[in-house]
């Protein structure tokens, strides 16, 4: 497959993923707004912080390293899918081991919530761990689908699973509110069960079909999805196994950085369960764009960079065509996420209070809620840039460089936990965001240095994507000032008419910023139009 074909597939995958994440965020947004009216903030805090942390830790540590290793490799690299499948099935026993260890920690080492306000905690811990193990049953199928760009499969599977989860949650919250944590545990089990079921049904029907034969799919029957040994070759690809181990060490550290504030809240008790609930709701609101735009782009273009570039080889040793297209894509991606991040930062300041008041009423718009969301809008800019830079760096690094970077992540992890504890004691929930910003800035700096050195002796300078046009910066600065004044004059205690005026002012300013983008960022507009918004009907006709 040529670099252009890989780019086209990766762009389509990113576009579908963005649409999928938009739907997920909207559904979750509405679901949280609904449940806030029926359950206590303490219950929300336990579910969204402690139990979600259990699930995400189990799943991330069990599969992330395998995913990164098995989806990497340049255009000239081939692996035996028999060996890859065998390697991927190791996620299941690893998940069972993590589930056992984490359940013991969550039940015996952590503070147990008051059963009057948060009932059935122990059973919910076990069920959330079971949901994580259940999801790992579909891991080989997920990697196969990603590697072969089965984008519509992912959309359908995750859409059905999310819809089922939302429906179960709404019904149980309305009619069986006394079930407490059982509501959310049951909904999560339904979600992971639907995911695995959809992937299994698809591959059972696909394998051996005419379409599979036409596309020269590497597996011929359902039995090939199960682990077994082929005569004449090792059980697993030991090169991939060693790379997986390197990524595993990195994944452990990255998980601490990604979920650091939840670990601090869970293990150090710096906030009570009610404050944890408010912080997590604000955190989810602030990260909506990061999750449904930046994360899908990072996941999809990691595959692109991994397939186009030969891991661990410098620019001179790569194909010029591959390096050229990788540099061009990296520059455009940096410009794209920078522009989106700057817009969120500018408008997030003036509209945080209004957004929280509409979403959760006085429960969120009073106290520290608006300040938390304003700070988070600044953090989103750093999230955006870090996602793309690390996406490239992790795809280009050799195994030795990955191991070396693990030491950097170890240092950042330790400093993050220390800063989180100190700053949270001093500034409450805002301290978490401050610690995140400092650590994210250091990660970005490390990635920028790697990218600069990678392209230093070539004619490509992809880091120019971090330089927005002067007209765009001027439009953003004017918008920041106008919307800040508008908030003081029109929002948010003057009735809905004045709020609508404030919203109208923001819409006009946003339009001005978008016009500046259209006039000055022509290469970015061309990239978005031709790559991130492909003609789906033409592609599949």
Contact criterion met (CB below 8 Å) for 365 and 282: no
Considering the domain boundaries, does residue 178 fall inside one? yes
Considering the domain boundaries, does residue 344 fall inside one? no
Considering the domain boundaries, does residue 289 fall inside one? no
State in Å, rounded, how far the first CA of the chain is from the last one: 19
Rounded alpha-carbon distances, angstroms, from residue 404 to 308, 315, 354, 387, 398: 23, 20, 45, 19, 10
**402-457: pLDDT as tens digits:** 778 878 877 887 887 888 888 888 877 788 888 889 988 998 998 999 888 888 87
Q: What is the pLDDT of residue 6?
A: 62
Q: What is the pLDDT of residue 537?
A: 31
Instruction: Output the 3-class SS for 150-178.
Output: CHHHHHHHHHHHHHHHHHHHHHHHHHCHH
The structure tokens 């938009």 sit at 22
Q: Is the dihedral of CA 449, 450, 456, 461 positive or negative?
A: negative
DSSP state of 468: -
269: left (phi over 0), alpha (psi -120 to 50) or beta: left
Considering the domain boundaries, does residue 463 fall inside one? no
Q: What is the pLDDT of residue 129?
A: 96
Question: Of 297, 470, 285, 306, which is closest to residue 359 (Cα–Cα)?
Answer: 285
**∠ at Cα 71 (68, 73), nearest 5°?**
105
Split at pLDDT 50, 70, 90, the class of 194 is very high
The structure tokens 């990072």 sit at 298
Split at pLDDT 50, 70, 90, the class of 284 is confident
Q: Which of 233-247, 456-470, 511-525: highest mean pLDDT? A: 511-525
For residue 330 the two structure tokens come to: 């990296």
Contact criterion met (CB below 8 Å) for 471 and 519: yes
pLDDT at 175 over 90: no
More confident residue, 483 or 159: 483
Considering the domain boundaries, does residue 197 fall inside one? yes
Range of the domain at 150: 39-70+80-236
**452-511: pLDDT as tens digits:** 888 887 788 888 888 888 999 999 999 999 999 988 888 766 677 888 888 999 999 999
Number of domains in the chain: 1
Split at pLDDT 50, 70, 90, the class of 19 is low
The structure tokens 């599969």 sit at 63
Considering the domain boundaries, does residue 458 fall inside one? no
- Is-above-0.75 flag for pTM? no
Q: Which stretch of DSSP H or E encloses residue 538?
A: helix 536-540
Q: What is the pLDDT of residue 233?
A: 74
Q: What mean pLDDT is reported for the chain?
A: 82
Considering the domain boundaries, does residue 477 fall inside one? no
Considering the domain boundaries, does residue 30 fall inside one? no
pLDDT at 104 over 90: yes
Kindly report the backbone phi and psi dihedral angles of residue 426, in degrees, each rounded to the nearest multiple of 5, phi listed first: -90, -40
């Amino acid at each position: 497959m040529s670099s252009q074909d890989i780019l086209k597939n990766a762009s389509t995958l990113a576009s579908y993923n963005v649409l999928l994440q938009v739907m997920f965020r909207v559904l979750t947004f509405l679901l949280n707004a609904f449940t806030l009216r029926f359950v206590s903030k303490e219950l929300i805090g336990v579910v969204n912080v402690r139990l979600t942390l259990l699930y995400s830790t189990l799943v991330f540590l069990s599969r992330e390293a395998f995913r990164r290793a098995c989806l990497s490799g340049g255009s000239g690299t081939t692996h035996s899918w028999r060996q890859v499948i065998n390697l991927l099935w190791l996620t299941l026993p690893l998940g069972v081991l993590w589930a056992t260890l984490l359940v013991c920690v969550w039940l015996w080492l952590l503070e147990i919530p008051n059963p009057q306000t948060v009932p059935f905690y122990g059973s919910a811990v076990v069920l959330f761990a079971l949901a994580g193990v259940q999801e790992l049953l579909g891991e080989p199928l997920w990697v196969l689908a990603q590697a072969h760009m089965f984008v519509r499969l992912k959309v359908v599977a995750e859409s059905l699973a999310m819809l089922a989860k939302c429906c179960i949650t709404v019904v149980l919250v309305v009619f069986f509110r006394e079930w407490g944590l059982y509501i959310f545990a049951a909904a999560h089990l339904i979600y992971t069960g639907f995911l695995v079921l959809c992937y299994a049904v698809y591959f059972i029907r696909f394998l051996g079909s005419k379409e599979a034969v036409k596309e020269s799919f590497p597996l011929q029957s359902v039995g090939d999805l199960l682990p077994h040994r082929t005569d004449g070759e090792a059980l697993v690809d030991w090169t991939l196994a060693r790379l997986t181990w390197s990524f595993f060490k990195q994944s452990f550290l990255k998980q601490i950085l990604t979920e650091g504030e939840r670990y601090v809240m869970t293990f150090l008790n710096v906030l009570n369960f009610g404050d944890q609930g408010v912080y997590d709701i604000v955190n989810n609101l602030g990260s909506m764009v990061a999750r449904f735009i930046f994360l899908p782009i990072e996941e999809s273009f990691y595959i692109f960079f991994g397939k186009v570039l030969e891991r661990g080889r410098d620019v001179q040793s790569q194909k010029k065509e591959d390096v050229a297209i990788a540099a061009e894509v990296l520059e455009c991606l940096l410009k794209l996420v920078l522009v989106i991040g700057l817009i969120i930062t500018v408008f997030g300041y003036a509209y945080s209070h209004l957004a929280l008041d509409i979403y959760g009423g006085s429960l969120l718009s009073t106290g520290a809620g608006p300040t938390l969301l304003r700070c988070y809008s600044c953090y989103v800019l750093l999230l955006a840039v870090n996602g793309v830079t690390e996406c490239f760096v992790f795809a280009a690094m050799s195994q030795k460089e990955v191991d070396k970077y693990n030491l950097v992540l170890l240092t950042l992890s330790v400093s993050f936990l220390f800063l989180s504890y100190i700053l949270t004691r001093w500034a409450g929930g805002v301290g978490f965001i401050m610690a995140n910003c400092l650590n994210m800035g250091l990660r970005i700096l490390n990635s920028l240095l790697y990218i600069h050195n990678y392209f230093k002796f070539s004619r490509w300078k992809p880091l120019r994507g971090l330089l927005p046009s002067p007209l765009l910066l001027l439009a953003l600065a004017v918008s920041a000032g106008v919307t800040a004044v508008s908030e003081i004059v029109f929002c948010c205690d003057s009735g809905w008419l004045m709020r609508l005026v404030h919203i109208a002012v923001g819409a006009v300013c946003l339009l001005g910023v978008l016009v500046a983008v259209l006039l000055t960022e022509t290469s970015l507009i061309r990239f978005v139009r031709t790559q991130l918004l492909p003609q789906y009907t033409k592609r599949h006709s």
